[in-house]
Amino acid sequence: MTAWPIAELLPHAGEMILLDAVLEHGPEHALCIRRVPTGGLFHDADGKLPAWMGVELMAQAIAAWAGCQAKAAGEPVRLGFLLGTRHYTCNVVAFEPDSELRIEARRDFHDDGGMGVFACRIEAPGVLAEARLTVFSPPDASALFQDGTFQDGKSPSPASEPSHG
């Protein structure tokens, strides 16, 4: 496990933190864990976590990787945005309560401007989910906003706000 609590690695708070810990990390990958609770903010009425939430778990694993890289370099954790995913597949409809999910993010591409592509997987007994996620973490996210608006002068709306992760 890392020396840093997960809450110090992610630009999230409270129930929005969906990972429990980073088990290992390196220059190209992070391996995180999540024990699925019974019920929660994103859970179905039957207490299960829908499989489509796997994309957010993967995005948070990428954010945890970035947080580990920042902490190791003595830099602050940066805000990141999930731009999209390709070919998300999952062999289950939902993640069962009390199951222990291992979420891996492996860097395929990353540039100095903050763009990145990661190959991600979620594994547990009887569970396999895979996707490639495209993310953006600008060197200075505050430069994207001015007085609550984007630099183009438009106010962000729920439909136009990028997903954090």
The CATH number that applies at residue 99 is: 3.10.129.10
Domain membership of residue 43 (yes or no) is: yes
Domain membership of residue 35 (yes or no) is: yes
Q: Which residues pair with 104 in a beta bridge?
A: 31, 121
pLDDT score of 161: 45
**What number is the average pLDDT over the span 21-26?**
96
Neighbours of 75 (CB within 10 A): 9
How many domains in the chain? 1
In this structure, are residues 67 and 9 in contact, taking their beta carbons and an 8 Å threshold?
A: yes
pLDDT score of 12: 86
Domain membership of residue 91 (yes or no) is: yes
pTM to 2 decimal places = 0.85
Domain membership of residue 130 (yes or no) is: yes
Domain membership of residue 157 (yes or no) is: no
Task: Evaluate if residue 75 carries a pLDDT over 50.
Answer: yes
In this structure, is the dihedral angle defined by the CA atoms of residues 7, 74, 146 and 58, taken in order, positive or negative?
Answer: negative
Domain membership of residue 144 (yes or no) is: no
Percent of the chain at pLDDT > 90 equals: 70
Residue that has been written with the tokens 């948070």 in this structure: 60
Domain membership of residue 165 (yes or no) is: no
Q: Which domain holds residue 107?
A: 6-138
Task: Evaluate if residue 156 carries a pLDDT over 70.
Answer: no
Q: How far is Cα 34 from Cα 92, in angstroms, rounded to an integer?
A: 16
Domain membership of residue 158 (yes or no) is: no
Summarised one tens digit per residue, pLDDT across range 35-72 is: 999 888 899 999 999 999 999 999 999 999 999 999 99
Print the SS3 string covering 87-144.
Answer: EEEECCCEECCCCEEEEEEEEEEECCCCEEEEEEEEEECCEEEEEEEEEECCCCHHHH
